[in-house]
Amino acid sequence: MSSKIPYKTLNNNTKIPLLGFSSWGWGDTVQGIIGQGVKDAIDLGYRYFDTAPNGIEQEVGDALYEKITDGTVNREDLYIVGKLWDPKVFHDPALIKDAVLSTLRNLNLTYLDSYILQCPEGDLQFVDTWHEMEKLVDNFVVKSIGLSNFNEKQIDHLYTSARYLPVTNQFDCNPYLMQVELCELCKSKSLAVTVYNPFGSSTLLEDATINNLAQKYRKTAEQILLRYQIQQGHVAIPIAISKNKLKENMDIFKFDISKSDMVALGKLDRNKQYTSFSALSYVIIDAKSLSIDKLNNFFSFFHK
C-alpha cells in the first residue's frame, strides 16, 4: 500500500488510511468539480475515499475508474467506503442488496472495502438491517461493515448479536464536541473512531487557543485540529475539494502536538454539535440555489 498517509489496522486486520477524502457532504453542489478533486487527491497520495449516494456518486466513480485504468493507482491500494443512506427507506433489509449494487455500479467497482450503516433512527430495527449487511460480507460484496452516528447504547445492543463486528464508527468529533464516553467505548471494543467534522464550526476555527497553537507550530487552525484527531488514534475525513486544501490537510504527519497542548485542546469541550442532518438534507435538495462559498459559511464542515 504505497501512500504518503499512514495507516491504522482495523479489528478485521485490514488497514485504513488515517486521513481520507470525503464526498458525502457536498451533494450535487459540486457536480462537474468533485471528479477533479478525486483525481487530485489520488495524485497527492490519498487512498481512502468516503462516498455516499448523494447525487455525485457516479462522478466520483468515474474519477476513480480513470485513475485505476490509467495505472496511477491499483484498486487494491484504495480503501473505498459506501453508505446505506436514508434510514427511513434503505434500512429496510429487503432493499439493502439493491442499495449496495447501485453504489457499486455508480462507483465502477466490484466490491467495497467497507459499507456503513448510517444514522439509526427511532424504533427502526437496525439489528435486522445489520444482519442483512453481514450477508454482503459473506458474499464478498464488501470486505467489512461499519457504523455512523451510533451512540453507546446502540453499539452495545448491536454487539449482542453481530456475527461481524463493525470496523469503525463515524461521528462528529472536535475540541468543542469531544464525545469522550463514546470514543472510550469504541476504543474498548477495538472499533475505530472516524471523525467526519474535525473542523467543527467557524467559531472553533477562530478559537484563541487553537490559533495560538497554529502560530506556535507554524500550521493552520485546520491542521492543528486534524493533528489533534490523529494523535488520539482517530481517522479523519474532512470535507475538502481544492488541491491546495487537500495538500494542506496532508501536511500533518511531520509534527507532534505536545502533551500539554493536547490537554489544553481537551479542555475546550462545550458538548456543542454543529452538524445537522436535517439541515444538510435541505442543502442537498436546494443546493443549486447556493454557491459553495455560501455553503462554507452556512455549514462549518463544508470546506473548499
> How do residues 150-189 score in pLDDT, each as one tens digit?
999 999 999 999 999 999 999 999 999 999 999 999 999 9
| 27-36, 155-164, 291-300: least confidently modelled range | 291-300
d(CA 118, CA 86): 8
Q: What's the average model confidence in pLDDT over 263-284?
A: 67
Phi and psi at 82, nearest 5°, equal -115, 170
d(CA 129, CA 143): 17
Residue pair 61/107 in contact by the 8 Å Cβ criterion: yes
> How do residues 204-221 score in pLDDT, each as one tens digit?
999 999 999 999 999 999
- Torsion angle (degrees, nearest 10) of CA 69, 75, 78, 84: 100
Q: What residues does each domain of the chain span?
A: 12-298
Percent of residues, the chain, with pLDDT higher than 70: 83
Give the angle 287-151-246 at the CA atoms, nearest 5°: 45
Determine the pLDDT at residue 192.
99
pLDDT at 247 exceeding the cut of 90: yes
pLDDT at 303 exceeding the cut of 80: no
Residue pair 118/124 in contact by the 8 Å Cβ criterion: no
168-171 and 21-22 beta bridge pairing = unpaired
Tell the CATH superfamily of the 12-298 domain. Answer: NADP-dependent oxidoreductase domain (3.20.20.100)
pLDDT at 91 exceeding the cut of 90: no
Q: What's the average model confidence in pLDDT over 4-33?
A: 88
Residues 6+ apart with CB under 8 A from 128: 93
More confident residue, 23 or 91: 23
| The three grid cell numbers given for residue 63, joined into one nine-digit string | 474519477
d(CA 67, CA 153): 41
The secondary structure of residue 142, as a DSSP letter, is B
| 46-55, 144-153, 261-270, 285-294: least confidently modelled range | 285-294
Residue pair 199/222 in contact by the 8 Å Cβ criterion: yes
CA 176, 25, 3, 141 torsion: positive or negative?
positive
Determine the pLDDT at residue 121.
66
More confident residue, 286 or 268: 268
Q: What's the average model confidence in pLDDT over 108-134?
A: 88
More confident residue, 248 or 92: 248
pLDDT at 109 exceeding the cut of 50: yes
d(CA 214, CA 212): 5
